[in-house]
Amino acid sequence: MIRLDSAAPGFAAAFAALVADARATTADVAAPVAAIIAQVRAEGDAAVCALTERFDRMAVSPARLRIGAEEIAAACALVPGELLAALDVAASRIEAFHRAQMPTDLDMTDAVGVRMGLRWGPLDAVGIYVPGGKAAYPSSVLMNALPARVAGVARIAMCVPTPDGVLNPLVLAAAARAGVSEIYRIGGAQAVAALAYGTASIAPVDRIVGPGNAFVAEAKRQVFGQVGIDSIAGPSEVLVIADGGADPLLIATDLLAQAEHDEAAQAILITPDAALADQVAATVATELADLPRAAIAGQSWDRHGAIIVVRDLAEAATLANQLAAEHLELMVADPAALFARIRHAGAAFLGAHTPEALGDYVAGPNHVLPTGRTARYASGLSVFDFLKRTSWICASPQGLAAIGPAAVALAGAEGLDAHALSLSRRLARGDRGPGS
């Protein structure tokens, strides 16, 4: 764990190094991913089946790629009632929050009589990638599928790998709760390629969202342009800003909640209270001893964790804007005032009663967030990722007469004579009406 003090000599360089810590894997999988994508494009279902047997140790035929309704129902029946109830709480809240985001169409007429606007509409088809096997990420299903459903996407296709044939009932139950019935038992780069380009059994989609390993992330990067993607997500991160009144045990717990994701995750505390910094450091060490995922969390904390002592909360906000963290917790007496100083964060969690984990599951806002300082320019997943906007213009003869000459002048300046003629010929005809 790195310990920094903003008043110490060399702080600026040390903090810059912390900000520059990419933490992403150095493995270069571009070539094998390109080969997989090419194979799927050339061979379709046969390639998907062969690659699934190779990587997931599961023989599958094209007819068995899709998980049937009976299999989904049987899996849902295995999920305990209290977990189904918890899924429903999460889904209801996520759906409600995203429904409140839905934009309205724009229709305006300006001073010269030109009518114009924006019309919103959903994508036709979306693909969702969900990690599978023994890992269970039902929250990922809800966070990716429900905004698409709220946006009005007609077709949602989900891919979930099933290593050794293992299907996770909770993941399928989450899919069912989110209204997703088109589910395929495939994963990896081959699943991304199938969603992007299509096969005989899997129709192509328009956008692919959802987390995955390095192969999945690289595949999304390579198919971008053929389809849209959400982002190329990096290791997860949390920044906690706390004042002297914060509970060191809660801070330590929240830092470790992020660190347990994986060895490349990052957890940082910024505080103006040096005594609190000491208490949190000691508490993290104590809590690590009893944590089931201590090996992962310990490596994350040792390699990428940091505690920074600053002069005041204003300086803490300045540093937070440079870090542009995925998750930002404000455990201070007046979190709203401090939040007003924050320009860059994927999601903010205000006050001691709002741990980041609440947002992971049931609060309502999306937990698919920008990582690796991309919160400087990117935002979390929302209904807008599943909508398109189309602008439209309807000019009256009077409106064309008012603004058309300026367009003629600009077209002429750009040397686009046909552009100028398409305007000037209409202007010459005056208000004789359509087709005159």
Inform me whether the pLDDT recorded for 326 exceeds 80: yes
How far apart CA 248 and CA 277 sit, in angstroms, is 8
Cβ–Cβ under 8 Å, residues 329 and 254: yes
Average pLDDT along the chain:
95
According to DSSP, residue 386 is labeled: G
327 is an active site residue: yes
**Own/partner long-range contacts of 276-279 (Cβ < 8 Å, ≥24 apart):** 276/242, 276/243, 276/244, 276/246, 276/248, 276/251, 277/3, 277/307, 277/309, 279/248
Residues 6+ apart with CB under 8 A from 292: none
Q: Among residues 326, 344, 356, 367, which one is catalytic?
A: 326
Q: Among residues 98, 261, 304, 327, which one is catalytic?
A: 327
Q: Cα dist. 410→209, 399, 413 in Å?
A: 41, 17, 5
Inform me whether the pLDDT recorded for 215 exceeds 80: yes
Average pLDDT, integer, range 343-359: 97
Prediction pTM value? 0.93
Q: Which two tokens stand for residue 34?
A: 């390109």
Instruction: State the amino acid at position 396 in one-letter form.
Output: S
For residue 66, give the 3-state DSSP assignment.
strand
How far apart CA 32 and CA 42 sit, in angstroms, is 15
| Phi, psi angle pair for 33, to nearest 5° | -65, -40
Instruction: State the amino acid at position 168 in one-letter form.
Output: N
Q: What angle do CA 345, 349, 350 make, to 5 degrees?
A: 115
Q: Cα dist. 63→5, 36, 48, 73, 107 in Å?
A: 61, 21, 12, 19, 48
pLDDT at 21: 85
Q: Which two tokens stand for residue 301?
A: 């904390």
Inform me whether the pLDDT recorded for 172 exceeds 60: yes
pLDDT at 434: 55
Inform me whether the pLDDT recorded for 77 exceeds 80: yes
How far apart CA 91 and CA 99 sit, in angstroms, is 12
Inform me whether the pLDDT recorded for 433 exceeds 60: no
pLDDT in tens, 231-273: 988 899 999 999 999 999 999 999 999 999 989 999 999 999 9
pLDDT in tens, 9-45: 999 999 999 999 877 654 689 999 999 999 999 999 9
Inform me whether the pLDDT recorded for 312 exceeds 80: yes
329 is an active site residue: no
More confident residue, 214 or 274: 274
Q: What angle do CA 333, 259, 344 make, to 5 degrees?
A: 50
Which position has the token pair 């050794």?
164
pLDDT at 24: 66
Give the pLDDT band of residue 381 (cuts 50, 70, 90): very high
Question: Where do the domains of the chain lie, and which CATH numbers do they carry?
Answer: 2-24+234-363 (3.40.50.1980), 30-107+123-229 (3.40.50.1980), 395-429 (no CATH)
By DSSP bridging, strand 115-122 and strand 106-109 are antiparallel
Give the pLDDT band of residue 133 (cuts 50, 70, 90): low
How far apart CA 72 and CA 41 sit, in angstroms, is 29
Q: Which two tokens stand for residue 427?
A: 């202007």
What Rg do the C-alpha atoms of the chain give, in angstroms?
26
Cβ–Cβ under 8 Å, residues 95 and 150: yes
Q: Cα dist. 103→20, 115, 122, 178, 382 in Å?
A: 37, 20, 11, 21, 11
Inform me whether the pLDDT recorded for 316 exceeds 80: yes
Q: Which two tokens stand for residue 19?
A: 């900000």
Q: Which two tokens stand for residue 204?
A: 């192509």
By DSSP bridging, strand 387-394 and strand 347-350 are unpaired
pLDDT at 262: 87
The rounded Cα 146 to chain-centroid distance in angstroms is 13
pLDDT at 430: 78
Average pLDDT, integer, range 324-330: 98
